[in-house]
Amino acid sequence: MTRRCKLTVDKNLQPHMTADGNYWAAEACVQISNNSQNPGKTALAGGRTSKHDAARHLRRACTLTIGLLASISICGFARAENWPRWRGPEGTGVSRETGLPVAWSEGLGVAWKCRLPEWGTSTPAIWGDDIFLTSHVDDKRLLLLKINKKTGRIAWTRQVGTGSAPRMPLGRKNDEQRRHQMFHKTQSMASPSPVTDGRLVVVHFGGGQLATYDFQGKQLWCRNLQDDFGRYTIWWGHANSPILYKDLVISVSMQDSCADLPGEPSPSYVVAHDKLTGRLVWKTMRMTDAKAEHCDSYTTPLLWRRGDRLEMIVMGGEMLDAYDPATGRRLWYLPELLGNRVITGPTTAHGMIYTTRGMCRPLLAVKPSGDGLRPTSDIVWQFDRGTPDTPTPVVWGELLFLVTDRGIARCLDALSGKLLWKERLKGSYRASPLAAEGRVYFLNMRGLCTVVSASARFDRLAENQLDDDTIASPVPSAGRLFIRGHKWLYCLEK
């Protein structure tokens, strides 16, 4: 028997690893599509060969033609995975890395630690041997850093701009305060995470600065979204991270519309710029019926494939909707998800979107059944017995894991929403959990990471303490784990 396999190379640079057989690495995408009627052997581009030879020829072809860093074989693939954006290649917090550490401390398993200019909460973006992160120094300078992944040394630092993060005590805002964004004490203007395609890195800051640099540190362009589209009115500091789609940088702003106040409403929108020039390509207004703080969303868009179509998921303003990332055209929307402002971002698995209604409101599993206005019957299940305000859930297999800000971890059946276990972890949480190698990593705000088995029974594997405050989510790459703290960037290994 033979298996027919189609090899296609796509040179768009958006790094992505999808569930339908697309592996993105370096500058290309390799897709294997098999003839399911002949599962015994594999052939490349219609030829006939063994499974082992197919993998060997595939690796050779990729290396010679485009320098692909992936290695694909009959037992899957093993490579140093790039982590190019917030929540990783798919934006879901799931990694295919192997050999990651389970136990560490300040005196065990620290390959290196890099002292950072204080401070920021953005999650590092990693491509090859390069790590990118941002920082907001002395409540003034907005910095982009490139760090060598092997040595932990800062290769270069660029000042993208300046800005001050105004603050006020948590609570209700008066009408005048609603016209201006303030910043929560746990974040600075360096909360949005960088994104990279392997050649360029895009950074965004809470003051509206959006800029692109090459890997040598040359700025290609810089603009300010507040200058372009109006000042931010999100209550506790703009923190949405940009994403890349082909040649587009896509950003969102979801904020208090102030529609009940005198004057022009404040805009919420989704916008795309050319990643090489900064030219505006499209902009779509996203005004909802939410009021005041309920309009606010700190989430990042998420690309997923529904059927044969790629969609961009956006959650906030008490609405879940999807867009064509190429044009900005809205494809479908599910409104009236009454709750509050949203920090916990959406994630996807099993053809469903998992998202909360915001501020510890119910967690939903949504399976869109068509385009346009979606009915509530598209909600497959809801879970309302303790949901996170900040950390985004993660799915491993058919299990969904979440942790509340106060440290109650739960495991649900991802298909039904049934609670399988509940356990208190130490500390408070803002970082989103990471799933890798059949484990889930929960990182609290005081540098303690609890590692548990990704299983239907609670099994604590390790508790690992570092001497730093931690809000950014952990990042895996090349068998190592990278944790960004208030003062340090840690590289952890077995």
What CATH number should be reported for the domain holding residue 325? 2.130.10.10
Tell me how far apart the alpha carbons of residues 212 and 67 are, in angstroms, rounded to a whole number: 24
Contact indicator for 185, 167 with CB cutoff of 8 Å: yes
Q: Do 244 and 337 have their domain in common?
A: yes
Q: Do 68 and 196 have their domain in common?
A: no
Range of lowest pLDDT (10-19, 194-203, 214-223, 342-351): 10-19
Asked whether residue 88 is assigned to any structural domain, the reply reads no
Q: Do 12 and 133 have their domain in common?
A: no
Q: Do 119 and 70 have their domain in common?
A: no
Section 245-257 average pLDDT: 98
pLDDT at 71 over 60: no
Q: Do 379 and 451 have their domain in common?
A: yes
Q: Do 73 and 120 have their domain in common?
A: no
266-275 as b/e, with b when 16 or more CB fall inside 10 Å?
A: bbbbbbbbeb
Asked whether residue 87 is assigned to any structural domain, the reply reads no
Asked whether residue 292 is assigned to any structural domain, the reply reads yes
Domain range enclosing 248: 94-492
Asked whether residue 84 is assigned to any structural domain, the reply reads no
**Smallest Cα–Cα separation from 377: which of 387, 385, 366, 386?**
366
pLDDT at 256 over 90: yes
Return the CA Rg of the chain: 22
Provide the 8-state DSSP code for 297: B
Q: What is the pLDDT of residue 72?
A: 33
**Interval 284-318: pLDDT, tens:** 999 999 999 999 999 999 999 999 999 999 999 99
Tell me how far apart the alpha carbons of residues 137 and 189 are, in angstroms, rounded to a whole number: 10
pLDDT at 386 over 50: yes
Provide the 8-state DSSP code for 291: -
Asked whether residue 86 is assigned to any structural domain, the reply reads no
The number of distinct structural domains making up the chain is 2
Amino acid identity, residue 121? T
Tell me how far apart the alpha carbons of residues 373 and 61 are, in angstroms, rounded to a whole number: 46
Asked whether residue 327 is assigned to any structural domain, the reply reads yes
Q: Do 124 and 71 have their domain in common?
A: no
Q: Do 288 and 404 have their domain in common?
A: yes
Q: Do 373 and 429 have their domain in common?
A: yes
- Would you state the structure tokens that stand for residue 153, as one six-digit string? 């040394």
pLDDT at 53 over 60: no
Q: Do 132 and 66 have their domain in common?
A: no
Which residues neighbour 400 within 8 Å (Cβ) at sequence distance 6 or greater? 349, 354, 393, 394, 411, 412, 413, 414
Asked whether residue 15 is assigned to any structural domain, the reply reads yes
Q: Do 212 and 326 have their domain in common?
A: yes
- Would you state the structure tokens that stand for residue 350, as one six-digit string? 């099993």
Domain end position, chosen among 77, 110, 130: 77
- What is the value of pTM for the model shown? 0.85
Mean pLDDT (the chain, rounded): 87
Measured at the CA of 480, the angle between CA 349 and CA 92, to 5 degrees, comes to 15
